[in-house]
């Protein structure tokens, strides 16, 4: 089987992290976002993954080369010379996706994190005579989304309602699809939306089905959702393979600590924290609801909550970092500094406190 991951453009919502690497290579729970998806695809027998991209394909391919060898899976890039929306990239990558076998192929949005129930999706797709299956997830506020109206028993999609004013349902597109090759005949090589143009046409022909996604789901394409997604992911890890989580008297709730990281005495870590490779956390540090990426050094008695600390950054002694502060790569925060929602671009030194949310250029 094959899969296409819609990588897209510049990842502006996750800046300053995406100023250093393309968005799919931003670390989430100690591995690049896209690697979570590739590993799950490999588990259900996918042999080739195509990355639909219009930004920095060379960096992507160079980085993923080691995983291609490690996972024994072929990873290629299909580069757009102009943005083609969410359907155009399928037409562009047609030669990579169709091999004459008639097998369906996966399409994923690269921002989506979940338990990736691909085996169940394949089983459901083969059980109906439709052309396409989309995964849907239940949300509390459907008025913010495009709602999928479907038959509960069969899963057949009846229609889509964009940001409904009245309640018509609470299931929304989860950005995970399994499509027959015939779907490609419906897509022209031009900027096209798969959600607003292609899927409604397939639904009108009574050939579109939806499966409710079991477990958690989150689009982690912006910082606050990234932090929520980390909590959901670690909670899922607790249920499925809790041995991967850290334990100890200084650990509260779900915490992921890379084996090469060191944590000093008297720290309180958690809940919902990921500490990446080679990190040094000195004594007396307090961490909660945060992601600490590769090579970060957190000095004594610093306190970090609801924030993301980018690669190879330093947080000084007694510093307090909170309220969705995002430090880009190689940012150095001096001792006793306070950051309240600061967005700090790479390679900066912070010598004075950031008292209200602002971008530090």
**Looking at residues 91-95, what average pLDDT do you find?**
86
The closest of 230, 227, 223 to 357, measured between CA atoms, is: 223
Cβ proximity of 255 and 270 under 8 Å: yes
Q: Is the pLDDT of residue 141 over 80?
A: no
Q: Is the pLDDT of residue 37 over 80?
A: yes
Distance CA 48, CA 38 (A): 9
Q: CB neighbours of 114 closer than 8 A, spacing ≥ 6? A: 137, 174, 176, 213, 215, 216, 217, 218
Express each pLDDT in 195-229 by its tens digit.
888 988 998 899 999 999 988 998 888 888 899 99
Please tell me whether residue 123 adopts helix, strand or coil conformation.
Answer: helix
As given in the structure block, the two tokens for residue 203 are 């639904």
CA 142 from centroid of its chain's CA atoms: 21
Out of 91-100, 180-189, 334-343, which region has the weakest mean confidence (pLDDT)? 91-100
Which domains does the chain possess? 2-219 (3.90.550.10), 237-359 (2.160.10.10)
Q: Is the pLDDT of residue 54 over 80?
A: no
Q: How many Cα neighbours within 13 Å face the side chain of 89?
A: 24
Cβ proximity of 220 and 28 under 8 Å: yes
Q: CB neighbours of 32 closer than 8 A, spacing ≥ 6? A: 24, 25, 26, 63
pLDDT at 11: 64
**Looking at residues 312-334, what average pLDDT do you find?**
96
Of the pLDDT bands very low, low, confident and very high (cuts 50, 70, 90), residue 242 is: confident
pLDDT at 327: 95
Residue 11 Rama label (left phi>0; alpha psi -120 to 50; beta): left
What global pTM score does this model have? 0.88
Distance CA 108, CA 177 (A): 6
Phi, psi of 195, rounded to the nearest 5 degrees: -75, -40
Express each pLDDT in 255-270 by its tens digit.
999 999 999 999 999 8
pLDDT at 10: 65
Helices H / strands E in the chain, number of each? 7, 29
Mean pLDDT of the chain: 89
The 8-class DSSP code of residue 76 comes to E
**Looking at residues 50-69, what average pLDDT do you find?**
78
pLDDT at 9: 64
The closest of 31, 36, 30, 42 to 69, measured between CA atoms, is: 42
Q: How many Cα neighbours within 13 Å face the side chain of 138?
A: 4
Dihedral of CA atoms 343, 344, 350, 353 in degrees, nearest 10, equals -10
Q: CB neighbours of 47 closer than 8 A, spacing ≥ 6? A: 1, 2, 73, 74
The closest of 319, 355, 321, 313 to 334, measured between CA atoms, is: 319
Burial annotation 39-57 (CB, 10 A radius, 16+ → b, else e): ebbbebebebbbbbbbbbb
pLDDT at 56: 67
Of the pLDDT bands very low, low, confident and very high (cuts 50, 70, 90), residue 346 is: very high
Of the pLDDT bands very low, low, confident and very high (cuts 50, 70, 90), residue 296 is: very high
């Amino acid at each position: 089987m094959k899969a296409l991951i819609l990588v897209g453009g510049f990842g502006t919502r996750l800046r300053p992290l995406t100023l250093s690497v393309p968005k799919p290579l931003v670390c989430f729970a100690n591995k690049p976002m896209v690697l979570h998806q590739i590993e799950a695809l490999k588990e259900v027998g996918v042999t080739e993954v195509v990355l639909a991209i219009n930004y920095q394909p060379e960096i992507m391919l160079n980085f993923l080369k080691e995983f291609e060898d490690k996972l024994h899976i072929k990873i290629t890039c299909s580069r757009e010379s102009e943005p083609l929306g969410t359907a155009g990239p399928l037409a562009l990558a047609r030669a990579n996706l169709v091999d004459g076998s008639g097998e369906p192929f996966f399409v994923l949005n690269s921002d989506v994190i979940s338990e990736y129930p691909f085996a169940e999706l394949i089983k459901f797709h083969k059980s109906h005579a439709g052309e396409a299956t989309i995964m849907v997830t239940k949300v509390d506020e459907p008025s913010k989304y495009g709602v999928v109206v479907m038959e509960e028993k069969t899963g057949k999609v009846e229609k889509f309602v964009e940001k409904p004013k009245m309640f018509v349902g609470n299931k929304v597109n989860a950005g995970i699809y399994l499509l027959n090759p015939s779907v490609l005949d419906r897509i022209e090589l031009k900027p096209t939306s798969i959600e607003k143009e292609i899927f409604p046409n397939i639904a009108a022909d009574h050939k579109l089905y939806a499966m409710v996604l079991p477990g958690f789901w989150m689009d982690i394409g912006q910082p606050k959702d990234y932090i929520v997604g980390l909590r959901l992911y670690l909670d899922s890890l607790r249920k499925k393979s809790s041995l991967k989580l850290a334990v100890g008297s200084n650990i509260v709730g779900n915490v992921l600590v890379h084996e090469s990281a060191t944590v000093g005495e008297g720290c309180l870590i958690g809940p919902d924290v990921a500490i990446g490779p080679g990190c040094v956390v000195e004594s007396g540090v307090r961490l909660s609801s945060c992601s600490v990426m590769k090579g970060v050094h957190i000095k004594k008695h610093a306190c970090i909550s609801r924030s993301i600390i980018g690669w190879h950054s330093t947080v000084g002694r007694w510093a307090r970092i909170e309220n969705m502060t995002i430090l880009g790569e190689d940012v150095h925060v001096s001792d006793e500094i306070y950051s309240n929602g600061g967005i700090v671009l790479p390679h900066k030194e912070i010598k004075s406190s950031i008292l209200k949310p602002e971008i530090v250029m």
